[in-house]
Structure 1
Amino acid sequence: MKKILFLALFFCTVNLHSQIFQSYNINLLSLSQPNLGDEGVDNRRYSGCWGWHQVSKNKEYGICGASNGTYFIDVSSPTTPTVSGFMPGAQKSTYREMKTYQHYCYIVSDDGQNKNFQIVDMQYLPDSIHVVYNDSTLFRRGHTIWIDKDKMYIGAMIQTLPLAITSMAVYSLANPESPVLLRKLDQDLPLLSYIHDMYVRNDTVFASAGSQGLYILKFDPIMNKFSQLGTYVDYQSHGYNHSSFLTKDGKHLIFCDEVPERLPIHFVNVENLSNIQPIKDWNPTGGNTTPHNPYIRDNFAIVSCYQDGLFIYDISQPSNINTVGYFDTHPQAGQNIGNYMNAPYRGNWGAYPFLPSGIIIANDMQNGMFVLSAASAFTTTIKNPVGIKENTAQESNLIIYPNPASTQIALHYTTQNPSTLYLKNILGQVITEKEFNGSLSEYLDVRSLESGTYFISISEKGNIKTKKLIINH
């Protein structure tokens, strides 16, 4: 077993030309851009993401897929994340996905290069990661991955020997360090040529088959065979069926169609798999953005949309779905500037909303890994039908970027109360003081300041929050 130990690793706060992120009921806690040098097509540096809770040490991690590998970022202190490990991968790879099982992370990648399937042992984090497997013997490429209990599903799998593409395959993780191939979908349903993504629960597979639509399959571990339970193919506004997620009660499914761009989000009733019924179709921005990956947490749907970021919906009443939060991870384009340009497939790739603390990890292809708090969104319901206790306390946070800075910084602070901003030098002398009545989004010119250490403070109702600022001309 090969060991990779990271005692120090370069880590950077994003400089987005000091743009402020538009949001509603979602607060930015931190923004990380660990990969600065390797860039794929369409200026992509990041792709899929996931999360992991280290129970033994009660620590949380964001797992960030990048174009040069996979970063393991400690977000236990979500306003000050740190890189704890890095698993190198094929360079300039713009498709990388990962899932976790026990204390292992399984990583696949997919584009026009030779690739390896990778397994990482995370139990020694935050000190180190251990490489368990980094090879193409099991398979060479996979577009997506899902883990259901002790089974691993790989979509659009490409083998090395013999060189062949398989629509989907399932592996046993009885030995987590040595997956064993159980069955290829082609062996039972050869007419399904390509499974782009899949959501699996208790061996029932909701398979997004691209232009062939949505197929519901069953893997029988006793017979070691796939069978078909149902389909949903000729639905309204259908396109390239991309990805899906099932509600906790198993009655409803949310899914997105990725191609052509700007198709709506679909919400359907799947209680009868032989007769799936549409409930609601909607588009987050009135037909402009492209929904990519959906997730469901309790009675909320969290949907990553390319140019317009992350949206949260209250789905407790399936026929009356309402927006309760959003955060634009991609201010370069989209609704915020009224310009979607000609690149619909840039921006927010995916998210992970299942960490015990409640924070959300979200990866933007150009801008990096966002750590978000959606506490306000998750307690905003129309009639509070699910019995969630209302929380009227407004979370406050202070975001400063870039840091270090040379010309100007952007300041973002969310509150409902009057507050005062202070910029102080290392001796505690006040250089700038400004009062605000509520939240602030402010630019501060620092060109006249000498290089060195400074402090930004917010005073609110007798409480003071302070962050260090480095000026480096």
Structure 2
Amino acid sequence: MCNPPRFATLVSVFARLLAAASLPLAALIVLAPEVSAQLPDPPSGCDAAGCEPSLSITWTDNASNEDGYRVWIDDSLYCETGPDAQMCFATGLAEGSYVCAIAAFNGAGQSVACSLIANVWTFTPPAPENCAATDTGSNNVVITWDDTGEGEAGFIVYRGGLTICDLPPNSTSCIDVDPPPGAYTYEVFAYTPCGISAGSSDTGVLQGPRLNMTLLGQKDEYGGRYSDIWGYVDSAGNEYAIMGHENGTIFYDLADPANPQQVGYIAGPNSDWRDVKTYANHAYIVTEGAGAGTGLQIVDLADPQNPVLVNTWDAEFTTAHNIFIDTTRALGYACGSPVGTHVFSLSDPVNPVQTALWNASINYYIHDLYVFDDTIYAGGISDNQMHIIANPNDSTLIEAASWTYAGANPHAGWLLGDKRYFAGVDETGGGRLRIWDIADKQNIVQVSQYQSGGATSIHNVFVRDDIAYISYYTEGVRVVDVSDPAAPVEIGYYDTYLGGGPALYAGNWGVYPFLPSGLVIASDIDLGLHVIRFDLLESVDVPSYVPEASGRLAWNAPNPFNPATTIVYFAERGDPVELAVYDLRGRLVRSLVNGTARESGMQRIPWDGTDDRGRAVASGKYFYRLRGHGFAETKSMLLVR
């Protein structure tokens, strides 16, 4: 009650002063200090996060006339600050959720409060489990997982270290939209502001353009500039891929085809060209690179998990373009050196001894070659000729035949099963696979050709069981049935090339189809190792819904055909099967295999377009059906006369 008298006394004093000065009372109001009656503006952008036992509460100071801020936690005033404050730090809080409110205040009162739910987290949330990455077939990969606990702030999903999704709590899926085709490791983590959980991962594969081939795994760990590829199988049957790189050679363990593991890297001269082959338990590497370490690198694979460079042989050459090893005669062939093609004995696998030289200046440059028995099939890419060179002993080389043709730019080739026919390829724009009848060395005749694309180039070809596997640069890996040399038929492909426009020497450099598992490994210049399954040659074990099946129908080639085709199927355990041809009305036309037991593996059955009485059937669509223990499968074919 003392304030009012003191105020009255002051007013009386001022009134007397004003009277003495002949001033109106209104002047008192003008001269007196302004007292604000306006509430401060409320704070905004309120946030709070903390790790047990602390919580940091922040806001944006929007007021200019506040005396300070008050912060409540669960309706209890926790702190009161001075003006311009933007944070309150609370301690002694257990894990859990809290209601926080922040308001500005001054003499006129208190602003509207900014409220939020704040979480105090434990340090590490529970880890998600059972991550699975699935190709949807629409250029997307869906990643799913199990949310195993409560209290996470969210989930984060990575593809190869790149953030794909950052999701709220309780999420269980993420979509990776339109990634480039390839194999990726996806990892999912739960997180809080205090830390991140252990991850759950899976390998997701987005398939590229393909036919009857499936990408299982891919590795691109060095950002491109890869070259040729070869395979290796150790004494225990474990499979490996060996791939050239600009600065060396990479060794991969293929125990998990979806996630090949690098087990070694042998450094070498810098070069975009590197070729590798194996013999016994050694790898032999050549390159066109210059500088330190040139020559034939010899790598000991006795422990394939730890490949070791044991020698660099440079006594006869330091650079070469390609290498081939005749494993039956323990002879190596290095071609494309400045001197020529070197033949060397590998009787001592670590210390080669040159036995012959095909001098390039006297004879011609050999770019690549294939050797069978005592004969070399050499691609003379510079003189536009294919050459056959006899090698009757370790030291004698005799020209046996050569031939050329329109558009010749021969790189390499491989013999077909009966060794009468040779499949050669041209490394040039408009290149193609050509099949030659070489029975008469003085009259070698082209019997057929195969081409994919128009101006594109082939690199190499390898033949296994009358199936040609072609590294076709920008066309990817191409698979061609050459069981009928006169009518090669494409039966599969996987395109590794993701370039945006035409190129000649880009994409698939090399392919290796000889692993016992049937896996096909391929190298892409930009994208590295590809582990591919050729679906038509997948293990004869059929899917789990017919576990006792005794075979599987594959294809017929050619298709369409005239007058004959070959039907291919796979037999398991030598069980009896039936193979028959039917017309559109389901009537039996021809019985081709009638309960006959055959050896396990691939079977080729010709049909000449006639019925069971030997009469030629009319043009049209026909069905062929394979039946056996636990299965029946039907496919169609077209006869065009």
State TM-score, norm by structure 1.
0.70
Residue 387 (structure 2) aligned to one of 204, 208, 215: 215
Please show how residues 308-323 of structure 1 align to structure 2 within 5 Å. Answer: 308-323=475-490
CA displacement at 1:193 relative to structure 2:
2.3
1:292 offset after TM fit, Å?
A: 0.9
Q: The residue matched to 2:517 in structure 1 has which SS?
A: coil
2:230 aligns to what?
A: 50
- 1:331 and 1:248 mapped to 2: Cα distance? 34
Matched with 2:506 is 346
**Structure 2 partner of 1:268:** 436
| CA distance in 1 between partners of 2:291 and 2:431 (Å) | 30
Q: Say whether residues 1:242 and 2:411 are aligned partners.
A: yes
Matching of residues 127-206 of structure 1 within 5 Å: 128-149=306-327, 150-157=330-337, 165-186=338-359, 191-206=362-377
Amino acid at match of 2:276: M
Q: Against the structure 1 CA distance between its residues 167 and 317, is the aligned structure 2 distance closer, same or farther, given a 3 Å change threshold? A: same
**Distance in 2 between residues matched to 1:184 and 1:366, nearest whole Å:** 35
The equivalent of 1:455 in structure 2 is none
Q: Are 1:380 and 2:548 matched, yes or no? A: no
Checking the alignment, whether the CA contact within 8 Å between 2:473 and 2:505 is kept in structure 1 is yes
Amino acid at match of 2:281: H
Indicate how the Cα distance of structure 1 residues 156 and 364 shifts in structure 2: closer, same or farther if over 3 A, else same: same
Counterpart secondary structure, 2:339: strand
Given that 1:198 and 1:207 are in contact with CA atoms closer than 8 Å, whether structure 2 keeps it comes out as yes
Cα-to-partner distance string for 1:64-83 (whole Å, 9 max, x where unaligned): 11111111100122112101
Q: Is the 8 A contact 1:245 1:253 kept in 2?
A: yes
Deviation at 1:376, TM superposition (A): 2.0
Quick one: which amino acid aligns to residue 253 of structure 1? F
The equivalent position to 2:258 in structure 1, one of 69, 79, 85, is: 79
Count of residue pairs the alignment pairs up: 349
Per the alignment, residue 3 of structure 1 pairs with none
Kindly provide the amino acid, as one letter, of the partner of residue 413 in structure 2: S
Shift of 1:17: 5.1
1:134 positional shift: 2.5
Deviation at 1:136, TM superposition (A): 2.9
**In structure 2, how many angstroms separate the alpha carbons of the residues matched to 1:47 and 1:90?**
13
For residue 220 of structure 1, report the CA deviation from its aligned partner.
Answer: 2.5
1:29 partnered with 2:191: no
Deviations along 1:44-94, one digit per CA (max 9) or x if unpaired, are: 51000000111x222000101111111110012211210111111123x10
Is the CA contact 1:13–1:32 (under 8 Å) kept in the aligned structure 2? no
Question: Kindly, what percent of the aligned residue pairs are identical?
Answer: 29
**How far did 1:283 drift?**
1.4
Q: Distance in 2 between matches of 1:52 and 1:102?
A: 9
**Letter of the aligned partner of 1:375 in structure 2?**
D
Contact 2:557 2:567 in 1 (8 A): no
Does the residue aligned with 1:178 lie in a helix, a strand or coil? coil
The Cα shift of 1:14 comes to 11
Query: 2 CA distance for matches of 1:388 and 1:87?
Result: 42
Can you list the C-alpha shifts for 1:251-286, whole angstroms capped at 9, x where unaligned? 111111113x1222211111222211101123112x
User: Secondary structure of the residue that 2:536 maps to in structure 1?
Assistant: helix
User: Secondary structure of 1:48's match?
Assistant: strand
User: Structure 1: how far apart are the matches of 2:377 and 2:313?
Assistant: 28
Work out whether 1:254 is the aligned partner of 2:423. Answer: yes
Structure 2 counterparts to residues 57-96 of structure 1, below 5 A: 57-91=236-270, 93-96=271-274
**Residues 367 and 380 in structure 2, CA contact (< 8 A), matched pair in contact too:** yes
**2:474–2:505 CA contact under 8 A, matched in 1:** yes
* Distance 1:231-1:78 versus aligned 2 partners, 3 A rule: same
Residue 246 (structure 1) shift: 1.1
Judging changes above 3 Å, is the alpha-carbon distance between structure 1 residues 116 and 104 closer, same or farther for their aligned structure 2 residues?
same
User: Aligned partners of 1:96, 1:355: CA distance in 2, in Å?
Assistant: 21
Distance 2:418 2:179 in 1: 44
Q: Is contact 1:352-1:362 (8 Å) kept? A: yes
Q: Distance in 1 between matches of 2:261 and 2:397?
A: 43
- Which digits, 9 at most, give the CA deviation of each residue in 1:229-262, with x for residues without a partner? 11112x1332x21111111321111111113x12
Residue pair 1:26, 1:325 contacting (<8 A) in 2 also: yes
Residues 371 and 13 of structure 1, relative CA distance in 2, 3 Å threshold: farther
Secondary structure of the 2:304 match is coil
Larger mean CA deviation between 382-391 and 275-284 belongs to: 382-391
Instruction: Tell me the secondary structure at the aligned position of residue 307 of structure 2.
Output: strand
| 1:386, distance to aligned residue in structure 2 (A) | 7.3
Give the direction of change, closer, same or farther, for the CA distance of 1:45–1:14 in structure 2 (3 Å limit). farther
- For the residue of structure 2 that corresponds to 1:381, the secondary structure is strand
Q: Label 1:167 to 1:83 Cα distance change in 2 as closer, same or farther (>3 A).
A: same
Residues 1:111 and 1:45: Cα distance change in structure 2 (over 3 Å)? same
CA distance in 1 between counterparts of 2:403 and 2:238 reads 40
- 1:326 corresponds to which letter in structure 2? Y
Q: Is the 8 A contact 1:13 1:31 kept in 2?
A: no
- Aligned residue among 528, 534, 540 for 1:368: 528
Q: 2:253 touches 2:261 (CA, 8 Å); kept in 1?
A: yes
Given the alignment of the two structures, is residue 304 of structure 1 paired with residue 471 of structure 2, yes or no?
yes
Within 2, Cα distance between the matches of 1:250 and 1:388?
Answer: 23
CA contact (8 A) 1:325 1:377 kept: no
For the 8 Å contact 2:212–2:534, the answer to whether it is kept is yes
Distance 2:323 2:246 in 1: 17
Q: Could you tell me which amino acid in structure 1 is paired with residue 391 of structure 2? A: F
Q: Flag the 1:365–1:230 CA change in 2: closer, same or farther, 3 A.
A: same
Secondary structure, aligned partner of 1:332: coil
Displacement, 1:387? 5.3
SS at 2:216 equivalent: strand
5+ long unaligned stretches in structure 2:
1-158, 163-177, 182-206, 539-553, 559-564, 573-641
Matches of 2:438 and 2:221, distance apart in 1 = 40
Q: Letter of the aligned partner of 1:210 in structure 2?
A: I
| Bigger RCO of structures 1 and 2 (CA < 8 A, at least 6 apart) | 1
Deviation at 1:137, TM superposition (A): 3.3
Question: Quick one: distance in 1 between partners of 2:407 and 2:315?
Answer: 40
- Secondary structure at the residue paired with 1:389? strand
1:263 counterpart SS class: coil
Counterpart residue type for residue 353 of structure 1 = P
CA distance, structure 2, for counterparts of residue 14 and residue 382 of structure 1? 45
Distance 1:35 1:381 in 2: 41
- Say what the alpha-carbon RMSD is for the aligned residues: 2.3
Matches of 1:386 and 1:206 in 2, distance apart? Answer: 31
Task: Answer yes or no: is the 8 Å Cα contact 2:555–2:568 preserved in 1.
Answer: no
Whether contact under 8 Å (2:218, 2:259) holds in the other structure is no
